[in-house]
Amino acid sequence: MTIIRACFALCLALLAMTDVAHAQSSYRIQNGDVLRIEVLEDESLNRELLVLPDGRISMPLAGNVQAAGRTISQVQRAITTGLANNFSLTPTVYVGVNRLAEREAPTEEEPVRFSIYVLGEAAKTGLIEVEPGTTVLQLFAQMGGFTNFAAKKRIQLRRRTETGERIFTLNYKDIERGKSGAGLAVVHDGDVFVVPQRRLFE
């Protein structure tokens, strides 16, 4: 039973080594990685080399070798070729990734926002940024409603179009009572809402 367990453990170790070897062989070297170079015939050439911003490493006797974007085996062959003229027989070169470059954590993209402008008798005027899909009624809520002097029956929505500016009249009282569906209309980027001051007996 002990022998079976030992064989099973050995198989798992071999599989793990195979996975690691496969991962290394398929890995594409990147700028900032640190490579470990070993030359069996001349230990004085063994060293750690940083992949420079231009994607190359500088190897004595082999010169500048392109590393970034290549696999380990490709870099290994390039170094072997570069060193070949300095040896009577083709040298035995080993290349490995000693340390990976520090990767910047991905930053979350800024959400898309629409710029809406509010003028006149609103609780909040000026630029208001809203999410795409915001409705007219939601915008009214976001701007905090209206002042006591607002003419709620003749709010203007000014919208730029390809043919020029279009002006829509919104009646907030009708929207509030459910008589108008204008509150469900979706605002567009750049829309301008003008809330006029009510007249004396309005």
* Vertex 113 angle, CA 107 and 117, to 5°: 150
Name the residue with tokens 């003028």: 119
pLDDT in tens, 120-167: 999 999 999 999 999 999 999 999 999 999 999 999 999 988 888 999
**Residue ranges covered by each domain of the chain:** 21-99, 114-195
| Length of the chain measured in residues | 202
Name the amino acid, one letter, at 117: Y
**Is 60 exceeded by the pLDDT of residue 18?**
no
Return d(Cα 79, Cα 115) in angstroms, integer: 57
- In the DSSP assignment, the letter for residue 111 is P
* Per-residue pLDDT, 100: 87
CATH 3.30.1950.10 fits domain 21-99: yes
From residue 89, alpha-carbon distances to 40, 61, 81, 82, 141 in Å are 12, 15, 11, 13, 81
Backbone phi, psi, residue 90, to 5°: -60, 125
pLDDT in tens, 161-193: 888 899 999 999 999 999 999 999 999 999 999
* Per-residue pLDDT, 127: 94
CA torsion sign for 61, 24, 74, 92 is positive
Return d(Cα 53, Cα 31) in angstroms, integer: 6
Report percent pLDDT > 90 for the chain. Answer: 65
From residue 146, alpha-carbon distances to 136, 174, 199 in Å are 14, 15, 15
Record: fold of 114-195: Outer membrane lipoprotein wza fold like (3.10.560)
The reported pTM is: 0.48
Return d(Cα 82, Cα 64) in angstroms, integer: 9
Return d(Cα 19, Cα 130) in angstroms, integer: 49
